[in-house]
Amino acid sequence: MKFKLFCWTKALAMNPRVSFSILVFIFWFGLGLGQAEQLPATNNEVWVLRFSGPIGPVSAKYITNGVEKANDAKAECLILEMDTPGGLDESMREIIQAILQSAIPVITYVYPSGARAASAGVFITLASHVAAMAPGTNIGAAHPVAMGGKEMDEEMKEKVTNDAAAYIKSIAEKRQRNMKWAEDAVRKSVSATEKEALKLRVIDLVAGSLEELIEKLDKRKVKLDGKEIILQTASAKIKKVGMTPVQRFLYLLTNPNIAYILLLLGIYGLFFELQNPGAIFPGVVGGICLILAFYSLQLLPVNYAGLALIVLAIIMFILEIKVTSYGLLTIGGIAALFFGSILLFESPVPFFRPSILLIAAAAIITAAFFALIVGLGIRAHLRKPITGKEGLVNEIGFAQTDLNPSGVVMVSGELWSAESGSGEIKKNEKVKVVEVKGMNIKVEKV
């Protein structure tokens, strides 16, 4: 063995060119192994997701699906353009888990100017591999609040706040960001502009546009799964991925204003169907609207007291069809609908409440509609009958024979046995019906 090794060494020493070639091969082979381990093969694309609005189940599905597909495509990185006032804790954690498990860098970009990353948006921004903001944006105010109008006692508030503070500190520590500021954002609801956030090490970049952000990301070192990679975004192809039509439709349903309108349309549809059995169309439309409204309600923080008042309003409106209350049930139904609408999405955050103008407009339209219906009903009750025996009263006819006091008269094209109530009436004289008695009528001379 020693003799063979000596022979190889002597051969290499006698052939410098061979020795140099072998050393170069070993060097490049080793460098290739090192690069293959550190930089996995990627597709030179930058995926861009755009989200604006409150964070909920639909938006979480859109973002997590986008991260998953970008990973499958081996994109260079994924940029999430975000403008959010916050949202549901469960949906926020779902997004953060997808970001933390991503095999490609995820960059959160608070954009455009005037946008914000508040509440749940703070957590998502801090969890990203690179955090960026546009000029004129802000981040912060991440104090947890209860949804659905439920009041938490002090002990529960402290538990929820401590949980959120610990979660955001762990995220900030993992991304080597300002843990003290992150905790204050939860406990004290502090906020910062893009310049303050950059100075406080809350974010990494300030960029005025997507193109500027991509330019600043080029050659930037990013830690990914304990390894350091260098982003190559200068010549990358930008691929913008929006919501699918189904996701856009479902996201539209999570708007409390849309949910409230669907609920009202469902109520009106059922009311028309019960008022006019067999119309079919109002019942079909109302049923579909109610089902869509129930889907929306399960995604929103609903106060069940408000929902109960709206159900009571529906019952009162339906009873108004069957019971003659001269508008009392309608007035009660409108009051129940108005107060139920106010309580339905009682939440401390405005984006989970319908517009008060919408509620007022709905109450006014409902009041006007049922006032019209009730008014027509009352008028119909008070109106003189125009058919049947009762419809003959006050009708004008002619005497076909002399009435002294009995005889025959022609009224509404019909011959009636009549009795005079005003003395003798001659043939062909005008008479007016004053009373109907069975098959006989009582008339008087006009």
pLDDT digit string (tens) for 293-317?
888 887 677 788 888 898 898 888 7
pLDDT at residue 37 in the model: 36
DSSP lists the bridge partners of residue 342 as none
- Identified catalytic residue from 119, 128, 191, 420: 119
Flag whether pLDDT at 393 surpasses 90: no
Q: How confident is the model at residue 210 (pLDDT cuts 50, 70, 90)?
A: very high
Tokens of 155: 């002990």
User: Residue 354 corresponds to which amino acid?
Assistant: P
For residue 276, give the 3-state DSSP assignment.
Answer: coil
Flag whether pLDDT at 20 surpasses 80: no
8 A C-beta contact, residue 73 and residue 47: yes
Q: How confident is the model at residue 71 (pLDDT cuts 50, 70, 90)?
A: very high
- The answer to whether 119 is a known catalytic residue is yes
pLDDT at residue 375 in the model: 65
Tokens of 273: 């169907």
Q: How confident is the model at residue 394 (pLDDT cuts 50, 70, 90)?
A: confident
Domain 389-445: CATH architecture, name and number where available: Beta Barrel (2.40)
pLDDT in tens, 114-132: 999 999 999 999 999 999 9
- Identified catalytic residue from 10, 150, 159, 427: 159
* Cα 156 to Cα 271: distance, rounded to the nearest angstrom: 43
In the chain, domain spans: 1-30, 39-246, 255-382, 389-445
What is the distance of C-alpha 50 from the center of its chain? Answer: 17
User: Residue 417 corresponds to which amino acid?
Assistant: S
Query: Which fold does the domain 39-246 belong to in CATH?
Result: 2-enoyl-CoA Hydratase; Chain A, domain 1 (3.90.226)
Report the pLDDT averaged over residues 46-59: 93
Closest CA to 55 of 5, 93, 100: 93
Flag whether pLDDT at 40 surpasses 60: no
Flag whether pLDDT at 206 surpasses 60: yes
8 A C-beta contact, residue 79 and residue 50: no
pLDDT in tens, 348-382: 666 677 888 888 888 788 777 777 766 666 666 66
- Which sign does the torsion angle of CA 189, 191, 197, 200 carry? negative
Q: How confident is the model at residue 7 (pLDDT cuts 50, 70, 90)?
A: very low
pLDDT at residue 146 in the model: 64
DSSP lists the bridge partners of residue 77 as 46
* Cα 221 to Cα 108: distance, rounded to the nearest angstrom: 16
Flag whether pLDDT at 38 surpasses 60: no
User: Residue 216 corresponds to which amino acid?
Assistant: K
* Cα 61 to Cα 29: distance, rounded to the nearest angstrom: 43
Q: What is the pTM of this model?
A: 0.69
DSSP string computed for 361-419: HHHHHHHHHHHHHHHHHHHHHHSPP-STGGGGTT-EEEESS-BSSEEEEEETTEEEEEE
- Topology agreement, domain 39-246 and domain 389-445: no
Tokens of 375: 């008014």
Checking DSSP bridges between strand 106-110 and strand 75-83, what pairing results, if any?
parallel
Q: Look at 32-41, 90-99, 226-235 and tell me which has the smallest mean pLDDT.
A: 32-41
Query: Which is more confidently placed, 64 or 27?
Result: 64
pLDDT at residue 349 in the model: 64
